């Protein structure tokens, strides 16, 4: 079965970097929490990174949904910019390229069916 391998691998790598950016953003949130500023927004980077990794796995496991997985990956790449520092920009770029590749991926044709022209005698002969 054909799969969008490049798209899945790039999305997984991008998700890893987004997850790292989310960890850094969560640590910054923990420092702010020590000073009394508590907010849940700092955990969004971790969630976006984990969901991006999940989408990368789904690209490889369920290739029939490549259009949906590609669109979700592009949205997650854009969302990662403010909430996970874009995965240090490399995660944003890898996920964006992986999502675009998955969105544009076409299943290879296994076989070509041709119809032979048949000669049919005219009626009455």
Residue 72's pLDDT is what? 98
Nearest one of 10, 116, 111 to 57, comparing CA atoms? 10
Residues of the chain with pLDDT under 50: none
Query: Whole-angstrom Cα distance, residue 32 to residue 20?
Result: 19
Per-residue pLDDT tens over the stretch 24-51: 999 999 999 999 888 888 889 999 999 9
- Ordered by start, the domain boundaries in the chain are 12-104
pTM to 2 decimals?
A: 0.85
Query: Exposed, middle or buried: residue 40 (CB in 10 Å: 0-12, 13-18, 19+)?
Result: exposed
Query: Whole-angstrom Cα distance, residue 99 to residue 26?
Result: 25
Those residues whose C-beta lies under 8 Å from the C-beta of residue 32, and which sit 6 or more positions away, are 38, 39, 42
């Amino acid at each position: 079965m054909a799969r969008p391998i490049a798209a899945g691998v790039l999305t997984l790598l991008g998700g890893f970097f987004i997850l790292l950016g989310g960890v850094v953003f969560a640590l910054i949130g923990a420092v702010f929490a020590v000073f009394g500023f508590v907010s849940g927004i700092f955990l969004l980077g971790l969630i976006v990174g984990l969901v991006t990794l999940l989408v990368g796995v789904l690209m490889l496991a369920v290739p029939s949904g490549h259009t949906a997985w590609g669109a979700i990956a592009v949205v997650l790449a854009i969302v990662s910019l403010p909430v996970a520092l874009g995965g240090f920009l490399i995660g944003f770029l890898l996920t964006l390229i992986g999502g675009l590749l998955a969105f544009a991926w076409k299943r290879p044709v296994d076989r070509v069916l041709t119809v032979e022209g048949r000669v049919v005698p005219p009626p009455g002969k």
